[in-house]
Structure 1
Amino acid sequence: MATKSSQGGSELRIVILGNDEENKVVKSVLNCENLTGEKVGLCTLHQSERGGRKISVVEAPGWDRLRPDRIKEEIVRSVSLCPPGPHALLLVIPVKTPSDEPSVGEMNASEMHMRLLSERVRKHTIVLFACDDGVDQQAIQKHIHSAEKILEECGRRFHVLQKSTCESPSQIHELLLKKIDSLVEKNHGDFFKPQANYELIEQKTEASETVTELRKRRGSMDNPFNCEFYSTKATAALTFRLLKH
């Protein structure tokens, strides 16, 4: 399913993983301060329309040490809440203060999110460093360096979400959407298929290929001009004549 650029309408489906504190990422994606999302379990579904383009954003719950099993279930379910699947996933890593050191727990949780959704999710993921006010470039670089493993797995795609005195919320929104659209274009409009759907498609494809192969074999057997058949028949006749003489 191809997805047009933000200037051309169509649809964009996004899942946000990680701790999106104060809904900064959702607000930036939708360019909206007053969110009216719908709760589905521990996930929240947001929908909006911009310039004729429908944007669906699923916000998965952040990692919670007190309820790890429940969180795992919700993360797996989150990609099914924007059917048939998200075009992009934003893996959020918070950068809170200038002196804030990268959290090992946060990085481990981010890697866990990725593993829960299979390796296929990597080509649809952008790592998003969500910065609080006052965070300087040095703190951002520390977090980028600490996330090196995740960045490598995701093709080194990342975006720094940071308020700027020279950029309006609309400009920040456009920059983020431009990065997402670039990813979608690179994937030729393909989207991440939830594991259950992916396995079903694989089974149907295998079954279809098996039926096609059986039909080819049947057609080969039914074809009276089959070269192999006549070659075998001629060889048998020649052998019979030689034996006779």
Structure 2
Amino acid sequence: MASADSHSDLRLVVLGRTGAGKSSAVGTILGLQTLQAQQDSQQQSQKSRGEAAGRQVVVVSSPDWFSSSCIPEERRCLISSFVALSSPGPHAFLLCVPVNQPSDGETKALDALESLFGPSAVSTHTVVLFTHTDELEEDESLEEYLLTWRKDLLELVERCGDRYHTLEPRNTEAEEGKAVEELLEKVEQAMKESDTQHLSCSLYQEAEERVRERQAEIVRLDRERSAGEEIGEEAPPSDSQPEGTVTEEEMERVREEAERSVGDLDVDVDDIFPCASVSQSSRPTNFLWGLWEKLKSWIRCLPKLVRREALLGALVGMFVGGPVGGMVGASVGSVATEVGRRKTQKNK
């Protein structure tokens, strides 16, 4: 039993850490002016559908299931949920990546996608979607920022077949619509280059089989319920509605009910996310992340002219460590600030 959207709609799965801008991305793609802000810190996968650039689009947004703080049972449930909602397979994963944060979490996400769905899930079916681009200086393009300052983000892009995009234009709503259209064009181009439609693998095949079984069960139970109700009333003539006829709207409802009722899939999260590596790395990662958050809160108070230079010096100091790291970081930050100031004066 196929769903109404299994082959005609463009299916996108939006992934990203908490606060990466997933809800904003979904709202932009579907042209929604308002979207629940808590969706970005949601506890369950959300499925939305609509029209974008003349295409019928289904967007599944998933919580942060690849972070080290996620316990195995919760991780298995979250993965099973977004897989079932995007079955029989997404045409693309959109990995939301904030340009103003370290990329370690996104690197783990790509590793996890490869382990779950195979290398092609990343190399041919993932687009890096940069967010928080308002942190860039007004005269600085995203490309210039990546090449100059963020080689770690460029590595993410390279793993994804050099596909990246942003839905945060600095101008008008018309530019926003164009950004959505260009994103869908990149997704469709990737499909052509890979000579495949949606992503397919054993996990998605298992999900689709269970969804269809659940669909058939729901339809059968609905018919039995309807037949029971008609026994107590005057039943209409038997030829008033041919048996087995199901409207498109009804099929869509049944499909989504079946997707949401699929239990945990056969996901070996222990192999993908070894407990040993989590326990060994969680403490230093949390420590560095705490330092990073403090640095960000301090840097936001600075003028934009020196913000980037101060960040560079702070990062050098953080990773070199000790008194030497502090002196080196301060020197780097000062030199970078002076270079930026002279560049600005020259432009004037």
Both structures adopt the same fold (TM-score exceeding 0.5): yes
Match of 1:126 in 2: 127
Matches for 1:137-148 after TM superposition, within 5 Å? 137=141, 138-141=144-147, 145-148=151-154
Task: Give CA deviations for 1:151-170 in whole Å, capped at 9, x if unaligned.
Answer: 33322222234322255321
Structure number with the higher strand fraction is 1
Is contact 2:117-2:203 (8 Å) kept?
no
Per-residue deviation, 1:92: 1.8
| Farther-moved stretch of structure 1 (120-129 vs 188-197) | 188-197
Per-residue deviation, 1:124: 1.2
Give, in whole Å, the separation in 2 of the partners of 1:46 and 1:150: 27
Q: Aligned in 2, Cα 1:68/1:183: closer, same or farther, shift over 3 Å?
A: farther
Give, in whole Å, the separation in 2 of the partners of 1:178 and 1:120: 19
Match of 1:21 in 2: 21
Gaps of 5+ in 2: 1-7, 209-348
Q: Aligned in 2, Cα 1:189/1:108: closer, same or farther, shift over 3 Å?
A: closer
Q: Does 1:157 align with 2:163?
A: yes
Q: Secondary structure at the match of 1:133?
A: helix
Amino acid at match of 1:65: S
Q: Aligned in 2, Cα 1:187/1:139: closer, same or farther, shift over 3 Å?
A: same
Q: Aligned in 2, Cα 1:25/1:175: closer, same or farther, shift over 3 Å?
A: same
Amino acid at match of 2:69: L
Structure number with the higher helix fraction is 2
Amino acid at match of 1:131: H
Match of 1:74 in 2: 78
| Farther-moved stretch of structure 1 (52-61 vs 108-117) | 108-117
Give, in whole Å, the separation in 1 of the partners of 2:201 and 2:154: 26
Is contact 2:14-2:22 (8 Å) kept?
no
In the alignment of these two chains, the number of paired residues is 188
Is contact 1:29-1:177 (8 Å) kept?
no
Give, in whole Å, the separation in 2 of the partners of 1:110 and 1:133: 25
Is contact 1:131-1:160 (8 Å) kept?
no
- The TM-score with structure 2 as length reference comes to 0.46
Matches for 1:40-189 after TM superposition, within 5 Å? 42-50=44-52, 53-62=55-64, 63-69=66-72, 70-71=74-75, 73-96=77-100, 102-122=102-122, 123-135=124-136, 136-137=140-141, 138-141=144-147, 145-165=151-171, 168-189=175-196
Give, in whole Å, the separation in 2 of the partners of 1:24 and 1:140: 22
Per-residue deviation, 1:66: 2.6
Give, in whole Å, the separation in 2 of the partners of 1:186 and 1:103: 27
Give, in whole Å, the separation in 2 of the partners of 1:150 and 1:76: 25
Match of 1:214 in 2: none
Is contact 2:24-2:35 (8 Å) kept?
no
Amino acid at match of 1:46: S
Match of 2:32 in 1: 32
Give, in whole Å, the separation in 2 of the partners of 1:200 and 1:25: 26
Q: Secondary structure at the match of 1:168?
A: helix
Amino-acid identity (%): 27
Give, in whole Å, the separation in 1 of the partners of 2:28 and 2:97: 15
Give, in whole Å, the separation in 2 of the partners of 1:114 and 1:162: 28
Amino acid at match of 1:15: V
Q: Aligned in 2, Cα 1:104/1:53: closer, same or farther, shift over 3 Å?
A: closer
Q: Aligned in 2, Cα 1:183/1:103: closer, same or farther, shift over 3 Å?
A: closer
Q: Secondary structure at the match of 2:146?
A: helix
Give, in whole Å, the separation in 1 of the partners of 2:148 and 2:84: 34
Gaps of 5+ in 1: 1-9, 202-245
Per-residue deviation, 1:22: 5.8
Give, in whole Å, the separation in 2 of the partners of 1:200 and 1:106: 25
Give, in whole Å, the separation in 1 of the partners of 2:98 and 2:175: 21
Per-residue deviation, 1:174: 1.5
Q: Aligned in 2, Cα 1:111/1:186: closer, same or farther, shift over 3 Å?
A: same
